[in-house]
Every structure is written in C-alpha cells, then in structure tokens.
C-alpha cells in the first residue's frame, strides 16, 4: 500500500522535518501569553494553570522513552503518524475541556507531538555522520524556531482579540497540516529494525555504559533547562512584575527566539568545521554571560523588560549553538541505537527541564522580583559549561566511543 504514497520510500525533505519538529514547539509556546487569562477562565490558581507547561514537558520526557525504541522496532514513519493522530485528538478535547483537570489531562496527551522532534533527529542520523548530523539538525532547528518565535506574538494578539481558545484552534490547524505533510513526504529511513520492542528496550544498558552519552545528555539538559525555566517563570515575571500585556510579552519573546535562530545558523554553518564539542562549550558560555548581564541590570535597579529580554538574546544564541551539537552527539555515540538514544536523551533533558519549569514558577512572587528565575537559569547554564568540559575530557581518552 505504501508504494502508492508519494515519496514514501525516500528520505523526507528537510522542510518536512522542520514542520514535524515544530509541532511540539507550537503546542508549547503559542498559548504562553494566555496563561494568566486561562487561570481566570478556569478559576484556578496561576501555579495550577502553569502545570500546562510543566506537565506537558514531563509527559514529553516520559513518552520519548517509548517513542524512540518503538521507532527502532516499527520504523520512523508509522510511529510519527500515530503520534500525530493522538496529538490532534487531544487538542480537540482540550478545546471542550469543562475544567482545569480535564484540560491538563489533554495537555499530557498533546505531548505525543514530541515524536516529530525525537524522530527527526533519528532520521537525520539514519542518513549522515555525526558532524554532518549536527549541521543538519542545526538547520532544522533554525527553521522550526520560526514557530516558537512567532507563536507567542500571534498567541498574545489572538488571546486579546478572541480569548485563549483561539490559540488552541491554531494549534489544531498546525497539527493537521503537520500530519498531512508527514503522511505525504516522510519515507522510511530505518531499515535495520530490531526483532521485538522488548529486545529494543534491553539496549538501554548499552547506552547507560557510554560516558559520552551521559555527557551529551547532561549538556543538552542544562541548556534546555535554562530555556524551560524561562517558559515556566517568564510569563509571570513579564505580566506580574514588569507589567506587560500578553501581546507585549509575545513581542519581547522574539529576542530569545531570534537569538536561538542565530545560534542554530551558527551550528549549521560551523559545526562540521569546528566540531560538536567546542560548539557546545562556546554556547553554554555565551548563555551564561547573558544571564550574568540580566542579573547585573536588575541589581543596579534597571527594572525594565529589556533587562530580562535583552540578555535573553544571548541565552538564545548560546542554546542555539549548544542544542543541535549536543543532540547530534547523543544519537552518534551508538549510531545503531539512534532512535532509542534520541528518545532516552530527550526524556532525560526534558524531564529536567520540566522540573526547572516548576521550580522557577514556584519560587516567583511579587516580593521576590525576577531573581529566582534568573538564578535558576544561570545555575543551569553554568552547569552546562561543566558538562561540556566533561565530554571534551572523556572524548580525549582512548577507547570511549
């Protein structure tokens, strides 16, 4: 039957991977400016509504543990298509949720969109080597960054004009488009499948024994942790402390998104030449410098949105340099386990991100100012420097592959 589908036996176009990867980002970022309004709509505390972010991240982490091995067993194409169907149904259910509890359950099911992100990395690694994978992942991430860059801007205006549900209608539309594009263009790239899912899951100990896998995963976790902390605490700081409207928050969010896109472009352009490890280290240093700048600006009394969002531009650049290279490293330590490695590595880094998202949201109050958010992000980025140095150290030792 598949032989009748266009391009179903060939690798997908890079634009298809961009769209598939962006689905999870759209679902994560588009409705962020609506969080305060959703708290009002559901008559729930902001900390409860903020779980729409952290539970989504936690579910994404857990689901990746199964999505990766399932794709190694059954193939990238069927697993991605099935996941997108679940995402679409969950989005429809979220639109008619009668209370915050049902809504949060729907958000958990929306996390199946993570298949696009996880499997795009594995698909790239199916076809090219490590440094080339870092380059392609960089370009894919640069393209998909348009979604989170424009998402909060569009979401903020939609929220003010039509309410929070309008953002979920747009998420639904994007999910439907993603499914169609993947259905028509995604050819199967994984042809050396395991004989059973149980056998595939048993390959995890092989990854556990690889020190570089842990180093790359920790580096990606620290970099993404700083970003997820911003997603969890940024809306509160922007609206409650700095007095921004949802649409203003969306506009200022462009700073971190543009920075991320520039960092991704640098990864796509220079990773093959410089190498993935030096690029990771440089990225974490740049992000940490940006957060030190934000801390200094607030400490001297410059309470302005640019004190938070201006330095976030450097955080975006740093993460854009770090993430493609760290993820390329994760799927390259054991190439024959690319799907499992992508799933496990993604689960660990996003699980950490979910924890930091909750932590940042819980520590903030009108009395604390923006400092808990900045400190959580700074500590996370600084630890990314440490883990990058660890990867470089291990890579120089003979015999660790």
pLDDT tens-digit readout, 369-391: 889 999 999 999 999 999 999 99
Residue 5 is predicted with a pLDDT of: 43
Helices 165-185 and 76-95, packing angle to 10 deg: 160
**Residue 261 CB contacts under 8 Å (≥ 6 apart), including other chains:** 142, 145, 146, 149, 316, 320
| Residue 202 pLDDT level (bands cut at 50, 70, 90) | low
Instruction: Sketch out the chain's domains with CATH numbers.
Output: 12-187+197-395 (1.20.1250.20)
Residue 117 is predicted with a pLDDT of: 82
What would the pLDDT profile of 321-343 be if each residue is shown by its tens digit?
998 888 888 877 776 666 677 77
CB 274 within 8 A of CB 328: no
Residue 104 is predicted with a pLDDT of: 93
- φ, ψ of residue 144 to 5 degrees: the values are -70, -15
> Between the CA of residue 343 and those of 216, 347, 351, 359, what are the distances in Å?
13, 6, 12, 24
pTM over 0.85: no
Helices 114-127 and 338-363, packing angle to 10 deg: 140
Of all residues in the chain, what percent carry a pLDDT higher than 70? 87
| Residue 4 pLDDT level (bands cut at 50, 70, 90) | very low
Residue 270 is predicted with a pLDDT of: 83
What would the pLDDT profile of 236-289 be if each residue is shown by its tens digit?
888 888 888 877 887 888 888 889 889 988 887 888 788 889 999 999 999 999
Tell me the average pLDDT of the chain: 82
What would the pLDDT profile of 82-91 be if each residue is shown by its tens digit?
999 999 999 9
Taking the CA of residue 336 as centre, how many other CA atoms within 13 Å lie in the half-sphere pointing to its CB?
8
Residue 313 is predicted with a pLDDT of: 92
Residue 193 is predicted with a pLDDT of: 63
Per-residue tokens: 130? 């490590």
Per-residue tokens: 74? 């059954």
Output 327 or 132, whichever has higher pLDDT: 327
- What is the rounded distance in angstroms from the CA atom of residue 95 to the CA atom of residue 103? 8
């Amino acid at each position: 039957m598949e032989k009748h589908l266009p391009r179903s036996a060939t690798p997908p176009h890079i634009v298809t991977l961009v769209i598939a990867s962006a689905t999870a980002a759209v679902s994560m970022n588009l409705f962020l400016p609506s969080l305060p309004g959703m708290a009002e709509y559901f008559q729930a505390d902001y900390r409860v509504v903020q779980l729409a972010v952290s539970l989504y991240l936690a579910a994404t982490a857990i689901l990746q543990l199964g999505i990766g091995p399932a794709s190694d067993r059954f193939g990238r194409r069927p697993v991605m298509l099935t996941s997108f169907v679940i995402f679409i149904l969950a989005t429809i259910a979220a639109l008619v949720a009668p209370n915050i509890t049902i809504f949060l359950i729907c958000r958990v099911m929306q996390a199946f969109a993570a298949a696009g992100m996880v499997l795009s990395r594995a698909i790239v690694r199916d076809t090219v080597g490590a440094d080339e994978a870092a380059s392609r992942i960089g370009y894919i991430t640069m393209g998909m960054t348009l979604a989170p860059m424009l998402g909060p801007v569009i979401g903020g205006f939609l929220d003010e004009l039509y309410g929070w549900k309008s953002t979920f209608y747009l998420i639904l539309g994007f999910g439907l488009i993603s499914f169609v594009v993947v259905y028509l263009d995604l050819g199967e790239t994984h042809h050396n499948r395991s004989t059973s899912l149980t056998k595939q899951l048993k390959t995890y100990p092989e990854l556990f024994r690889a020190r570089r896998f842990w180093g790359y995963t920790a580096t990606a976790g620290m970099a993404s942790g700083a970003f997820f902390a911003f997603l969890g605490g940024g809306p509160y700081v922007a609206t409650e402390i700095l007095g921004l409207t949802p649409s203003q928050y969306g506009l200022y969010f462009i700073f971190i998104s543009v920075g991320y896109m520039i960092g991704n472009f640098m990864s796509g352009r220079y990773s093959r030449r410089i190498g993935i490890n030096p690029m990771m280290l440089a990225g974490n240093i740049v992000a940490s410098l940006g957060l030190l700048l934000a801390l200094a600006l607030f400490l001297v009394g410059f309470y302005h949105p640019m004190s938070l969002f201006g330095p976030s531009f450097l955080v975006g650049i740093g993460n854009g340099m770090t993430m493609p290279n760290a993820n390329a490293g994760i799927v390259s330590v054991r190439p024959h386990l690319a799907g499992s490695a992508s799933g496990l590595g993604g689960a660990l880094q996003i699980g950490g991100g979910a924890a930091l998202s909750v932590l940042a949201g819980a520590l903030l109050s009108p009395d604390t100012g923006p400092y808990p958010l900045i400190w959580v992000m700074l500590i996370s980025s600084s630890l990314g420097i440490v883990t990058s140095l660890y990867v470089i150290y291990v890579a120089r030792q003979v015999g660790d592959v």
